[in-house]
A and B are shown apart, each in its own frame.
Chain A
Amino acid sequence: MKPQEPIPHNYPMSRLNAIFAISALVLLAVTGGIVFYDYVRGWKWFQMEFMRIQQERIEQELREKNDAETRAKLAALDKEMKERQVQIARHRSDLVAAQKDLDREEGRHYAADQDYRFAKALLDAKRYELESAIVKKSSSRKQKQREFDELSQRVENLNLRLQQVTRERDAARERVDVWLGRIKEVEDRRKELTAEIDLLNRQLFSVSRNRDFFILNAPMLDFVNPTMRVEQVVLNDLFIDMNYMSVPRVDRCQTCHRAIDRPGFESKAEAQRLIEDLRFKLDKNQFTKDKRAEAEERVAELERLLARPEILNPFRTHPKLDTFVGSASPHPMLDYGCTVCHRGQDRATEFSRAGHTPASGRMERRWKKTWFPFFPLPKDYTSRNYGWAANPFLETPMYPRQHYEAGCLKCHSNQVAVNGSDEITRATAMVELYGCHSCHKINNWRFSDLQKVGPTLDGIAEKTTPEWAFRWIANPHAFRSTTRMPAFFYGRNMVGPGVPAEERAQNIRFQDAEIHSIVAYLFSNSSNRQWQGGTGGDATRGKEIVERVGCLACHVDTETVTVDGKTRKALRTDFPLERNFGFNLVGTGTKTHAGWIYNWVKNPKNYDPHAPMPDLRLTDQEASDVTAYLVSLQKPGFMSQPIRPANPAAVRGLAKGYLINTMSTRDAEAKLDSMNLDEQLVYLGQRSIEKYGCYSCHDIKGFESLKPIGTELTIEGSKNPHLFDFGFVHDYEAWDHKHEHIIHTVPSWIYNKVREPRIYDDARTKPYNDKLKMPNFHLTPEEARLITSVVIGLTKERVNDSKLASMDARERLMEEGRKLVSQRNCRGCHVVDGYGRAIAPLIADTNFLPPDLSPQGRRTQSPWLFHFLKDPTVMKIRPWMNVRMPTFHFTDEETNRLVEYFAAAGQSPLFDMTRFNDPPARNVAIGREVYTMLRCAQCHLTTPVDPANPPMPNVADTTSLAPNLSLGRVRLRHDWIADWIRRPDEMIPGTRMPTNFPRSAETGEFTSPLGGAAIDGPGFAASKARLLPLFQNEEELRKTMSDAVALTNYLRDYIWSIGITNMREARPEADAPVMTVPQPPRTPPPTPLQTGEGAPSVSAPAMR
């Protein structure tokens, strides 16, 4: 029916319809957009890519497993199956009959079973009725008793019938099973054959993009049970600082880093390392039987990995799974997550937001790149371009990969060694050796009592001349290229190419004046003892002594190295860190004089009671020879470099600049007028030493209580980039002409700061005294990288105590000892905690290497070690050694610290009393015989000797280079001896002591060379005759002879029985100095300096 009149509308309906339609469409599109935005994330690409990698791998494995042989076997089985089926089909009627029979029997069995059960239930009810009737003494109890007995009888009958029927049923079933079993047996065999393939197929299903994958991960449906999902670890007691509030970390890194805790996706380098490691243990038979098979399987797997294409991040397994991430490691992922070490945004799942930090400018450019200008496409991910941009709101971006180990310091900064092989161990040692901590305060550092890294300057006038000191301060690297003394003057912000000529000339005048003034101050405040002696030595003999007694463990004696056929100036990094501990010997003769050297090498403590150099107990003649050699080490040309005299106007100008801080300009002028140039220089020297912080590294009179001048570094790694002045420079050439690039990250800023400390002054206009003054250490890229790792590892983030390595009493003792080991540079000569012995490459014959101290605590008795450390002359165990254990003049407290450390590190009690126990005579007798049979006497002597002065063996005859065993009882621990005889190579790799009880490859147990028929050999007839009376019967003898542990214990008892039990105590003696009576310091200071050859030059010194 039509409406009578049109309904009135205020709006034109057709337009309204159009608007509605359009907005509905727009809303639909927006809704769709929201769904897409919510659905599509970058991490999904990574998960799919990882699935693809797994898929390829499984498919390859399937191809390998499903080879021709397997297929042939399967075909054979299928054929057999068919045959049997045919056979069964032929006797089909029999089978059907048997089956029918079984069905019927099953029915009967069921019925009988039911009958029995019902009757039994009834019987229980009857029993209750009977019992209650008896209790109530009811009249019907006789009746009830009769009924119960009848029922019991019936149940019994039914039970018998059930058993009968069961037997018949089982017989029928067996008749059927004979037929079916034929097929089932083949089926089982087939299943066994294809078990691995089936497993792989199931795995393949879970990683392939099949129908299930698309449905489970479809938009809107994926809330149910998606296969692609964000993986996370919730860390309830590790917090992340979120602006004024700490929240538990939720690490989602595993969302993309899929294989991080899963072995099998290692990089090739890591796989190679693991193979090496396992092979080593396999070679040494250190596995039991099952473990051995497991290890061999793992090696095979890793070798397959080597043949495959390299796995790249983010799909790699974390390296060193036994230390990090692995569930059995000290840092399992479920407890520590990732970001607590690596930093970064824990909850982020997008590449940039997670806080990834590029390692280099090149990497930064690659990360930023995208094919389409605005966002990354899958194509970009494939070529590892991520559209990266720094996340400016993230306070803790990740450490770039060259500084990964910085993260260790958060928890381990107060520990001496985390692990000898770790970079951070070397880096922290480097920071201490180069003295970063001297100028830059670092709280919570592992040592609070570090000595100053430079020599004392209180006696500089005794040692050298002002002329040398000036040239040295002006350019230390010109004198010794490996020196740790940095260059303070004529830096790139003073005389560099970017500085205008006029300012440059002025800067040079100022710098000259400052050096003159520092030299003047130092020499006017120096003591002035006159050291004598050291004449009449022979330089050739001296050189030989320096090379022989071990000086080169701490000192380097060259300034040139040849690498790959090219000779160049040596760098510190050309030598182990330990050999940079002492100064480079080059130019010693130019720097100082014979009298000082002689007294120094005789006993360094005479010159400086705190000198770190130990006493090598040189005789007077040896010391003279060494002196002659060191005097002969001249640096030609160094002392003829011209020195410009101090410019009075510059001195006055600089001094005035300091004076007017505390007085009016007129008073300052008046004060300066009252001083002559020398006095002005000393005043300016004091101020300049203050300005440059020389006293941070050197003891200087008058600066005893000043604070370090550098920026505090305690939380340097937590500072944001905006707190750093990046200046205007991006690319520059460093002191070694290598190109460097600065990116806008904190690690990059610090790296370039330590590499070229004045770099951020480039293109700046600053007043003279405001210019950057951090000196140039001439750090190589490697050194700068390691030091940067330490600096950015110093953060304000704190970790819950529950997650810190707890240190028990034993570990604290070890830390104390390790500090001393590191401060006295023991690793120059010895292996301690598994690393060190910098001197090793200089000693060709391994018989002459200083001992490996890794097992020291288990090896030696504490009283012996105490006396030996105090005074190494108490016992010469290896009199053929050239390298000398020096006398360190340790205090009793220090010695005890070391002794306790070694005992704790060896997990041994501090004292054991076995030294006083005499072993049983029978054990000694057996031990002596075994000693003869194993021919130990071929190398070892047993005749008692004077421990401090044993006869010198014939060095050419290597047999005599074995310790005298009579020294064992006062020195070695009882338990150690047997253990050492069993496995010398495991205790000290590469030892001369042969392995006489090799481990069996199968069981990993020790085997005996005297086991089996060996005892029946003609050579052992006499021994056997002597041994038999000591055993109950021959069988027992044979058993003992094949028991490595028993034999070594007998040997130990024999060695114990022949040992001396007393030795003299430590009597460390120090050589008295040779010198004239001390004189008062020289004043006025020796200026002007002798300016060397040539006219004073106004041209600037070379920039670097």
Chain B
Amino acid sequence: MTLRKFVSMIAGLALIAAVACGGGKEVPDYGDDEDDVIEQPAAGDTAAAAGTPAAAAPAAVANAATVTGLVKFEGAPVQMGSLQMGADPFCASTHQQPVKDEEVVLGPGGELANVLVYVKNAPAAPPNSTPALLDQKGCQYFPHVTAVQVGQPLNIKNSDNTLHNVHAMPETNRQFNEGQPVQGMVSTKKFDKVEMKPFRIKCDVHGWMKSYMAVLPHSWHGVSQANGNFTIANLPPGNYTLVAWHEKFGTQEQQVQVGPNEQKQVSFTFKG
């Protein structure tokens, strides 16, 4: 082992040199230690760099554009059955006529309601502290489909004089299941992760009650109304991918370019 000793000695000299020179100043280009490839830069670093909200959008959007649109359905009209609310007399008593299942809500001209349209590649947005509302009324969720922003408070209200339980079943965010036995009760929840694919919120007491919710990193989204119209307001100019989601008919994407103060019209068509 004499060679080793000699080697260590010389190495020592080199070390002294390093100390004297103030050491290596350059930042070492390490790979991920748990991956023995050292040539490539650590994936996490670049991701982190890309994810830094360096160019956070200003609070008030200058030259904001508005995207409005129409969602239509093509194909044989889908007839939805009525919701059987007989299991809870209270629910049945709140409606004069049977309520149609809200899975597919079609207008006379094929306008499709309850389609969530959101911007997929939007710039980072400031946090939103205005609470969103999910109401349980007449043993139905209002709105049936919606989106909240990450960290935005969500008030869940029970307007019915019956027991509801709010069982949110997100995949990325945390599940919760809270009972609301008292009329007028409000629980406030937050989601801390982006979950673009809408997840289900259900009531275990009333099997027909369903609502869908997406958690977006921003608030640029709209939900089509009974007339098929939706609006995404206050959008900074730029090139975007719009995503339209429907609980039965799936997802569609569309590229749009919006200029300063533009009123952009788009349309989506789902096929049955």
Identify which of B30, B52, B87, B206 contacts A312 (C-beta below 8 A). B30
Q: Does the CB pair B182–A383 fall under 8 Å?
A: no
Q: Does the CB pair B15–A359 fall under 8 Å?
A: no
Is the CB of B57 closer than 8 A to any CB of chain A? no
Q: Does the CB pair A267–B204 fall under 8 Å?
A: no
Is the CB of B23 closer than 8 A to any CB of chain A? yes
List residues 5-22 of chain B with CB under 8 A from any CB of chain A: 5, 7-16, 18-19, 22
Is the CB of B196 closer than 8 A to any CB of chain A? no
- Chain A residues in 8 Å Cβ range of B204: 939, 958-959, 992, 994
B-contacting 9-mer, from A32-40, A333-341, A753-761, A868-876:
A32-40
C-alpha gap A935/B7 in the complex (Å): 81
Is the CB of B28 closer than 8 A to any CB of chain A? yes
A-contacting 9-mer, from B65-73, B74-82, B158-166, B225-233:
B158-166
Is the CB of A44 closer than 8 A to any CB of chain B? yes
- Chain A residues in 8 Å Cβ range of B44: 268, 306, 310
A449-489 interface bits toward B, Cβ cutoff 8 Å, 1 = contact, 0 = none: 00000000000000000000000000000000000000000
B-contacting 9-mer, from A168-176, A249-257, A321-329, A373-381:
A373-381
Considering the complex, give the chain A residue whose CB is closest to the CB of B13.
A36
B17 vs chain A, min Cβ distance (A) = 8
Q: Does the CB pair B15–A44 fall under 8 Å?
A: yes
B40 vs chain A, min Cβ distance (A) = 12
- Chain B residues in 8 Å Cβ range of A378: 14-15, 18, 23-24
C-alpha gap A378/B11 in the complex (Å): 8
Q: Does the CB pair A1009–B179 fall under 8 Å?
A: yes
A983-996 interface bits toward B, Cβ cutoff 8 Å, 1 = contact, 0 = none: 01100011111111
- Chain B residues in 8 Å Cβ range of A500: none
**A359-B36, A996-B179, A1014-B182 given; A41·B12 CB < 8 A:** yes
Is the CB of A366 closer than 8 A to any CB of chain B? yes
Q: Does the CB pair B48–A306 fall under 8 Å?
A: yes
A356-384 interface bits toward B, Cβ cutoff 8 Å, 1 = contact, 0 = none: 00011011001000000011111100111
Q: Does the CB pair A1009–B34 fall under 8 Å?
A: no
Identify which of A36, A209, A1014 contacts B23 (C-beta below 8 A). A209
Is the CB of A1071 closer than 8 A to any CB of chain B? no
Q: Does the CB pair B207–A958 fall under 8 Å?
A: yes
B156-199 interface bits toward A, Cβ cutoff 8 Å, 1 = contact, 0 = none: 00000111011100000011111111111101000010000000
Q: Number of B interface residues at 8 Å Cβ cutoff, please give it.
A: 59
Q: Does the CB pair A995–B36 fall under 8 Å?
A: no
Q: Does the CB pair A959–B207 fall under 8 Å?
A: yes
Q: Does the CB pair B11–A363 fall under 8 Å?
A: no
Q: Does the CB pair A40–B28 fall under 8 Å?
A: no
C-alpha gap A316/B30 in the complex (Å): 14
- Chain A residues in 8 Å Cβ range of B37: 362
Is the CB of A957 closer than 8 A to any CB of chain B? yes
Is the CB of A290 closer than 8 A to any CB of chain B? no
Considering the complex, give the chain A residue whose CB is closest to the CB of B189.
A283
B253 vs chain A, min Cβ distance (A) = 20
- Chain B residues in 8 Å Cβ range of A33: 9
Main secondary structure of the interface of B (DSSP, over half): loop
Q: Does the CB pair A37–B8 fall under 8 Å?
A: yes
Is the CB of A956 closer than 8 A to any CB of chain B? yes
Is the CB of A724 closer than 8 A to any CB of chain B? no
B44 vs chain A, min Cβ distance (A) = 5
- Chain B residues in 8 Å Cβ range of A52: 23
Identify which of B23, B33, B192 contacts A313 (C-beta below 8 A). B33
Q: Does the CB pair A995–B177 fall under 8 Å?
A: yes
Is the CB of A1019 closer than 8 A to any CB of chain B? yes
Is the CB of A899 closer than 8 A to any CB of chain B? no
C-alpha gap A935/B179 in the complex (Å): 10
Considering the complex, give the chain B residue whose CB is closest to the CB of A282.
B192
**A280-B174, A283-B174, A993-B177 given; A310·B24 CB < 8 A:** no
Q: Does the CB pair B177–A45 fall under 8 Å?
A: no
Considering the complex, give the chain B residue whose CB is closest to the CB of A387.
B7
B104 vs chain A, min Cβ distance (A) = 20
Q: Does the CB pair B9–A957 fall under 8 Å?
A: no
Q: Does the CB pair B176–A985 fall under 8 Å?
A: yes
Is the CB of B205 closer than 8 A to any CB of chain A? yes
- Chain B residues in 8 Å Cβ range of A960: 87
B72 vs chain A, min Cβ distance (A) = 31
Q: Does the CB pair A989–B33 fall under 8 Å?
A: no
**A267-B34, A363-B36, A377-B14 given; A307·B52 CB < 8 A:** yes
C-alpha gap A1014/B180 in the complex (Å): 12
Is the CB of B247 closer than 8 A to any CB of chain A? no
- Chain B residues in 8 Å Cβ range of A363: 36
Considering the complex, give the chain A residue whose CB is closest to the CB of B165.
A994
Q: Does the CB pair A374–B177 fall under 8 Å?
A: no
Q: Does the CB pair B45–A309 fall under 8 Å?
A: yes
Q: Does the CB pair A279–B192 fall under 8 Å?
A: yes
Is the CB of A1017 closer than 8 A to any CB of chain B? yes
**A52-B23, A935-B181, A959-B207 given; A383·B15 CB < 8 A:** no
- Chain B residues in 8 Å Cβ range of A307: 48, 52
Q: Does the CB pair A1017–B34 fall under 8 Å?
A: no
Q: Does the CB pair A1017–B184 fall under 8 Å?
A: yes
- Central interface residue in A267, A310, A384, A993, by most chain B CB within 10 Å: A310
Considering the complex, give the chain A residue whose CB is closest to the CB of B166.
A994
- Chain A residues in 8 Å Cβ range of B38: 366, 383-384
- Chain A residues in 8 Å Cβ range of B18: 45, 48, 378
Considering the complex, give the chain A residue whose CB is closest to the CB of B192.
A279
- Chain A residues in 8 Å Cβ range of B162: 935, 938
Considering the complex, give the chain B residue whose CB is closest to the CB of A961.
B204
Q: Does the CB pair A994–B87 fall under 8 Å?
A: no
Q: Does the CB pair A989–B10 fall under 8 Å?
A: no
Is the CB of B42 closer than 8 A to any CB of chain A? yes
Q: 28 A-B contacts, Cβ less than 8 Å apart? A: A45-B15, A209-B22, A209-B23, A268-B44, A283-B174, A307-B48, A310-B30, A374-B3, A374-B7, A378-B15, A378-B23, A382-B24, A382-B26, A382-B28, A383-B29, A401-B34, A933-B181, A938-B162, A957-B207, A958-B205, A959-B205, A959-B206, A960-B87, A992-B204, A993-B177, A995-B179, A996-B181, A1019-B161
Q: A312-B30, A992-B204 are in contact. List 5 more A-B contacts (CB 8 A).
A: A33-B9, A269-B34, A309-B30, A362-B37, A1019-B183
Chain B contacts to A: CB under 8 angstroms: 3, 5, 7-16, 18-19, 22-24, 26-30, 32-34, 36-38, 42, 44-45, 48, 52, 87-88, 161-163, 165-167, 174-185, 187, 192, 204-207
Pick the 4 closest A-B CB pairs, nearest first: A40-B12, A994-B179, A994-B165, A935-B163
